[in-house]
Structure 1
Amino acid sequence: MSKALNVKPSAQLRTLTLDAHQKILKAKKDNVTRWTSTMDMVRRYLRIKDELSACNGLEDYVLSGRENQVIKEAAKSFHTFNMITVEIQAKGMDLLDVREQFDTLLSHEKYKMMDTYLGQKAKIVESPDFEVGCIKVMRGEPSTLTEEEVAAIAKLKRKSITSNAPEATAELDVDQKLAFNTKRRKVKMNQKLRRDRGPEESPFLDIKMIVSATSNCCERLFSEAKYVMVPHRRGMSPILFESLLFLKKNVEYWNVKTVGDAIQNSKRDKRDDDDFLRKASKVVCRILRNATIIHD
């Protein structure tokens, strides 16, 4: 395909594709930073392979029938991979959803060899016990956890409200102690209602809210950065740029009131970076007003 991008073959290809498809279709090259570019290149080749064969100067590079068959088979796999790639980049995807997609793919005989990279115990996984433990908890199967998995996710356990109660309430006055007892009673009532309605509550926190899809967020972050780093903001400092993107990715946790409080706090702060804080607050307000434009 790179040869078809040369000046003369490219001109011929534009004419041939315009006649055959009523639109100009250029040859595509793969990009080493995105595997989807390989899929796009293969799709484009299969669509214009007849026109490529008719271009002068490309006769020595035309693929054989056997090679074309291999390309067609690869295109089917590329379609499958692209479905998963798009799905796991969707908003709201969590560890369990991704695991189910990978397990579905690995259950097919054709893709079992990918278990080395996509399996639960793959060598590239930093902590297999932690990942498997999180998945079991998210599936509602905490009773199936092994000792290693329990130890790996120990920090995700819920803290009992009755633990250390005497120490926690020792310094409270009477009204506060009474309020604390009322709150504890309501919690116990809610727990009893949940037990009556269904299975016992998991001893672990809501992992979906804690263990986020890090690579997913990073991928979106890189895609959205261009909306912030426009030409007239080239002089923006790295720390301010990082702060804006952090706020953008966590937009559901703050609002106009949060920005107002930050501005008021910055006015009371007499440090040397007051000017920076004021500028940052103004930019945050502007980004907030434009959030609907750059938000997914």
Structure 2
Amino acid sequence: MTRKNASLTPIAKNTLKRYLMRMIESVKARVAEEIPATFGIVLDGSFCPLEVEEDLGAQSLFDLIADTLSRYNKPWEAVHFMVADNCSVNQYIGSREGGLPMVGCASHRFNLAVTDYLTSYEALLSKIHALMTKLRTIKGRAILRRVTDLSPLHRYDTRWSSTYAIVQRYTKLKPALNSLGHGTLVECGIQTLLLQKTESECAHEILEVLADFEGVTKTLQRSTLTLSGRKEQLSAAERADFRRTGRDVTEETSPTQAAQLSLVQQAFKKRKVSKRSLYADVAFIPPTSNECERFFSSVKLVYSDLRKRLDVSTLEVLMFLMYNSDLWDVYTIESARL
């Protein structure tokens, strides 16, 4: 970047910030022009810029949304839905009088369901976690490097995918651990943490289930995923009624074909549907709030250790311009410099 822009003339910091603020006002005006009459909002309340940071109540978030809508001269009626996590604060906003219809984040619901499913295997998962913790020590890593290049992983309570990662890593490390001598394992305190044969077999069974869960998670994280892919299959009686009326119905996948598909492929396999529908098109509604998390990840990359002294307002300006890069061009920059 330095070499690319080495020929540019020097510019003062205050001048650059003044140009950025002018561009912000220009982009905001264009956003206000292009916002449709009806729309929805996607939010993640963990990073809302509230005036009082310690106040995380529903009313504060409600007021923040109302203030943002007033800036763009949009009434509450213009917002048709809100996509957010299934926490109590967001549910209150969606259920209160004059509130917004809330679409719970599918990824968040799926994480809660997987966490509930893994409760019965918590004892086994705790043993695998304890083994991984021991192998993550200096002595444990040194012994592990004798037989494999793989490193032990850590399990995080807030991210169920880390459970899939440590179970998968355990199945790969198990042959390497078995190749170590009994005396070496006892000396390092690893022998007592090894899983029994039945527990190892159970770990392989859990891994197969978690692999399907992992496929569903990656599918839910697609930026192109919409609620239009959520279709319920009809019963045999309902299909017969539709045939008598002469309407097109969804074609089911045969059991033989379904057995050859993965869990995700079976759920999202394309089917022929009726051309006409009595319901509103929901293809524009995102089923998850992963877009917010991707935005936070981008902010983390920009706000690196070399930019820790960067002002928060400047960071917001940079990220706003980056995510709305299609709304400004070189002519916008020239107008800001005039």
TM category, shorter: 0.3 to 0.5
**Larger radius of gyration between Structure 1 and Structure 2:** 1
Greater relative contact order structure (CA < 8 Å, 6+ sep):
2
Determine which structure has the larger helix proportion and give its number: 1
